[in-house]
């Protein structure tokens, strides 16, 4: 057949040029032979063709050919038809017009079919068959026949314009009726790859076609002697056409019609059936033959299309039912089909039988009320009604009672379907008993956890009160003796210092220094405790203003000129202002403290917004630190510098870290010995 994988649809793998050439040449040869044969079967002396099969061959060939080859095919068949007409003695100009008309008919028909019916043309569909009859056999043929009729009136001995138009329409139309479905039907069968017929079916087809051919031959050979045979011929043929339509579809029907035409036309054209028409004259014979073929072909083809389409629908339905049955039976979820009116079950798969403990026969004797606990039945029936009305598709956690009386829980998904003229509800049962049990365990655990949280909260509150009492004791009871020690040491130095030697005064100074250190250590520990215990009061914070004000609080007016201090515009924050002041105070105090020994005293504060967080930094040009010990910076009592070099308790950065963590942020540091340090912290952005 044509160089395509499907009728009328382009192939994804293009054949080589010689295959294309061979295809076009083969079509042209068949077309030429058919045209010459048709010219030999003209009704004389008028030279009228009862049928013109080349018109159907032309159309079928175009539809079977790849789109980019169709112009080449049309041109080749135009030349072929022109040569055939010239060999038959038709004048040069008229031959050209005839060939042009036939080419135009095939091209216009194919365009109309592709445009309004679609590719590929399937004579097994009623829509495609009717579209072909209207657009190709009637419309396109009638339009192009105007050109052919205009040319034929110039031939000697021809009839009027409209008579010529009528002969052209009828002969081309009947040729299209016979050739196109025959070629496309068999081509579709070959392309489908399902060409195998069993032996019985093959013998049946041969018997049908041979019997039909012999019967037609007998009838037409006897028409000259028995004129009344013409009245019975359609009734004798029709059962065979019905047989072919029902058993062999469009291919069988088209083949049967070709056999009928192959017998009828030669007999009629040879004048051996003068009794075929009840009125004398060649034109009457032609009309009768054309009507006979058209009246038998059109209903037969439509019947074959209806039968084929119905068989396809039945096949699709059987396959769909088989797929449904397979999925239904092999589903891992239980499935039940219930009549929406009676609420009785009509179908049950294996899984639901296992879940319920009933056989399928037993289930079909049950109703919805039989498989649910009585206490839950009203709620279950309400869910069933909602699913039947399409208000919901999922009924979660439905209790289902087994045959042995035990209960399991299932999520039931539903779908409304129509089966045997009845509305049914398909329920898909998924056993969630284990999940339900786990949810109950989780619920109980949550209750226990909530109780533990309550108990622990009470304990924490009690501990906090004890801690507050301890903090009060530390701040008052422990600091009071320290103040006494420091005070008496100061009095000794001031009032009795001249009575002490140098060593005595040195020792008293050491006492005073350590009492002050101890007092500051207590203050820092209390501050560290407060940062953990205090409930945060979140509000909007202008970080730029806060950093500037804290720096001026830390650095005395006489020292301001010693430092180069800059603050870039900082993103505003959402946090606890009191705690955030402690962060800036500790970071800026450290920067001032560790930058003071350097000649270049530079402190820079900056920040930016990064994705969902605000990032801030304090950078100084101070003495820096060894990066190998960065992990110790934020630990309590951990210091990277000697106490005699830089005063401090080692708690300030620990306070910073706790505050930032409470705000949901992070803190980190970068530095090198002698090259300064940068302390970073981030908190979630208010945006």
List the single range of 8-12, 76-80, 639-643 with lowest mean pLDDT.
8-12
Query: Cβ contacts of residue 338 below 8 Å, gap of 6+?
Result: 344, 345, 346, 367, 368, 384, 424, 425, 427
Query: How large a percentage of the chain has pLDDT more than 70?
Result: 82
* DSSP secondary structure letter of residue 424: E
State the pLDDT confidence band at 390, using cuts at 50, 70 and 90: confident
Q: Is the pLDDT of residue 42 over 90?
A: no
- E strand or H helix that includes residue 394: strand 394-401
**Cα-based distances in Å from 174 to 56, 279, 298, 660:** 9, 22, 10, 94
Query: What is the model's pLDDT at position 490?
Result: 77
Is residue 362's pLDDT more than 90?
yes
Distance CA(630)–CA(616), nearest Å, equals: 18
Residues 6+ apart with CB under 8 A from 312: 124
Long-range Cβ pairs for the range 343-351 (8 Å, 24+)? 343/367, 343/368, 343/369, 343/384, 346/419, 346/424, 351/429
Q: Report pLDDT for 464.
A: 63
Nearest to 655 by CA among 526, 549, 555: 526
Q: Copy the structure tokens of residue 659.
A: 């505050």
Q: What is the 3-state secondary structure (H, E, C) of 297-360?
A: HHHHHHHHHHHHHHHHHHHHHHHHHHHHHHHHHHCCCEEEEEECCCCEEEEECHHHHHHHCCCH
| C-beta atoms surrounding 590 within 10 Å | 21
Considering only 222-236, 259-273, 289-303, 484-498, which range has the smallest mean pLDDT? 222-236
pLDDT tens, residue by residue, 530-580: 666 667 788 899 999 999 988 888 887 777 788 888 999 999 999 888 888
Alpha-carbon span 393 to 384, nearest angstrom: 10
Average pLDDT, the chain: 82
Contact 55, 176 (CB under 8 A): yes
Residue 12: the pLDDT is 39
443 versus 528: which is more confidently predicted? 443
- Average pLDDT for 340-350: 90
Dist CA 605 CA 617 (whole Å): 6
**Phi-psi label, residue 662: left if phi above 0, alpha if psi -120 to 50, beta otherwise:** alpha
333, 428 Cβ separation under 8 angstroms: yes
Band of pLDDT at residue 195, cut at 50, 70 and 90: low
Strand order in the sheet with 345-348: 345-348, 334-339, 422-431, 407-419, 394-401
Structure tokens at 283: 């034109």
DSSP string, 121-134: P-TTSHHHHHHHII
Inform me whether the pLDDT recorded for 645 exceeds 60: no
Please, what is the Cα angle at 603 between 597 and 605, to 5 degrees?
Answer: 155
pLDDT at 7 over 50: no
What is the rounded CA–CA span in Å between residue 549 and residue 409?
66
CB 349 within 8 A of CB 333: no
Q: What mean pLDDT do residues 254-275 have?
A: 79
3-class SS of residue 598:
coil
Average confidence (pLDDT) over 18-32: 92
Answer yes or no: are the C-beta atoms of 250 and 123 closer than 8 Å: yes
Q: At 125, list the tokens.
A: 């569909």
pLDDT digits (tens, 9 = 90+) for 502-526: 777 777 777 776 677 666 666 666 6
Q: Which residues have CB under 8 Å from 402's CB, separation 6+?
A: 355, 356, 357, 408
The residue-averaged pLDDT of 589-609 equals 86
**273-324 tens-digit pLDDT:** 554 544 455 566 777 788 888 989 999 999 999 999 999 888 888 888 888 8
* Pairwise pLDDT comparison (48 vs 649), residue with the higher score: 48
Is 208 in a helix, a strand, or coil?
Answer: helix
At residue 480, does pLDDT exceed 70? Answer: no
pLDDT at 129 over 90: yes
Contact 245, 304 (CB under 8 A): yes
The DSSP-derived string for 602-629 is EEEEEEEEETTEEEEEEEE-S----GGG
Q: Is residue 439 a contact partner of residue 454, using CB atoms and an 8 Å limit? A: no
């Amino acid at each position: 057949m044509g160089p395509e994988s499907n009728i009328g649809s382009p192939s994804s793998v293009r054949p080589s040029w010689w295959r294309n050439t061979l295809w076009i040449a083969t079509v042209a040869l068949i077309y030429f032979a058919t045209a010459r044969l048709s010219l030999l079967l003209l009704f004389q002396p008028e030279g009228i063709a009862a049928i013109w099969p080349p018109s159907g061959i032309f159309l079928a060939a175009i539809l079977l050919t790849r789109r980019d080859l169709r112009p080449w095919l049309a041109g080749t068949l135009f030349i072929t038809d022109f040569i055939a007409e010239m060999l038959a003695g038709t004048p040069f100009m008229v031959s050209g017009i005839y060939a042009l008309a036939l080419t135009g008919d095939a091209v216009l028909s194919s365009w109309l079919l592709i445009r309004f019916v679609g590719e590929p043309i399937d004579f097994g569909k009623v829509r495609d068959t009717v579209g072909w009859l209207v657009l190709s056999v009637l419309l396109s043929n009638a339009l192009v026949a105007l050109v052919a009729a205009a040319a034929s009136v110039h031939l000697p001995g021809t009839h009027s314009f409209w008579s010529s138009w009528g002969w052209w329409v009828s002969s081309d139309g009947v040729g299209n009726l016979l050739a196109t479905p025959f070629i496309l039907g068999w081509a579709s069968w070959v392309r489908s790859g399902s060409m195998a017929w069993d032996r019985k079916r093959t013998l049946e087809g041969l018997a049908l076609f041979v019997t039909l051919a012999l019967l037609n031959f007998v009838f037409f050979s006897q028409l000259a002697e028995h004129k009344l045979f013409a009245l019975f011929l359609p009734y004798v043929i029709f059962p065979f056409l019905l047989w072919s339509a029902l058993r062999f579809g469009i291919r069988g029907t088209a083949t049967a019609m070709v056999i009928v035409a192959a017998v009828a036309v030669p007999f009629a054209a040879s004048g051996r059936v003068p009794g075929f028409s009840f009125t004398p004259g060649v034109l009457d014979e032609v009309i009768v033959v054309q009507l006979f073929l058209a009246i038998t072909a059109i209903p037969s083809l439509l019947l074959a299309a209806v039968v084929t389409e119905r068989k396809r629908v039945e096949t699709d339905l059987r396959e769909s039912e088989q797929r449904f049955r397979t999925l239904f039976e092999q589903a891992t979820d239980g499935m039940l089909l219930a009549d929406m009116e009676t609420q009785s079950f009509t179908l049950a798969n294996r899984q639901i039988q296992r879940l319920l403990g009933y056989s399928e026969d037993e289930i079909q004797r049950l109703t919805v009320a039989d498989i649910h606990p009585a206490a839950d039945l009203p709620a279950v029936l309400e869910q069933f009604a909602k699913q039947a009305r399409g208000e919901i598709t999922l009924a979660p956690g439905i209790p289902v009672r087994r045959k042995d009386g035990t209960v399991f829980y299932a999520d039931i998904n539903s779908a409304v379907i129509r089966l045997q003229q009845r509305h049914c509800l398909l329920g898909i049962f998924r056993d969630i008993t284990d999940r339900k049990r786990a949810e109950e365990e989780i619920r109980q655990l949550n209750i226990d956890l909530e109780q533990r949280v309550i108990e622990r909260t009470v304990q924490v509150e009690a501990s906090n009160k004890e801690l507050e009492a301890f903090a009060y004791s530390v701040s008052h009871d422990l600091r009071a003796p320290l103040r006494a020690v420091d005070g008496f040491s100061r009095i000794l130095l001031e009032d009795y210092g001249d009575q002490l030697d140098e060593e005595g005064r040195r020792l008293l100074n050491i006492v005073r220094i350590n009492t002050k250190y101890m007092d500051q250590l207590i203050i820092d520990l209390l501050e560290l405790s407060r940062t953990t215990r205090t409930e945060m009061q979140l509000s909007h914070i202008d970080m730029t203003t806060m950093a500037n004000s804290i720096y001026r609080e830390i650095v005395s007016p006489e020292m301001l000129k010693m430092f180069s201090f800059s603050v870039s515009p900082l993103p505003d924050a959402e946090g606890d202002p009191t705690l955030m002041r402690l962060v800036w105070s500790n970071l800026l105090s450290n920067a001032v403290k560790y930058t003071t020994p350097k000649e270049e005293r530079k402190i820079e504060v900056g920040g930016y917004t990064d994705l969902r967080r605000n990032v801030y930094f304090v950078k100084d040009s101070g003495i820096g630190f060894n990066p190998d010990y960065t992990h110790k910076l934020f630990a309590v009592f951990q210091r990277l510098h000697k106490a005699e070099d830089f005063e401090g308790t080692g708690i300030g950065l620990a306070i910073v870290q706790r505050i930032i963590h409470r705000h949901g942020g992070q803190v980190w540091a970068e530095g090198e010995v002698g090259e300064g340090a940068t302390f970073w912290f981030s908190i979630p952005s208010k945006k």
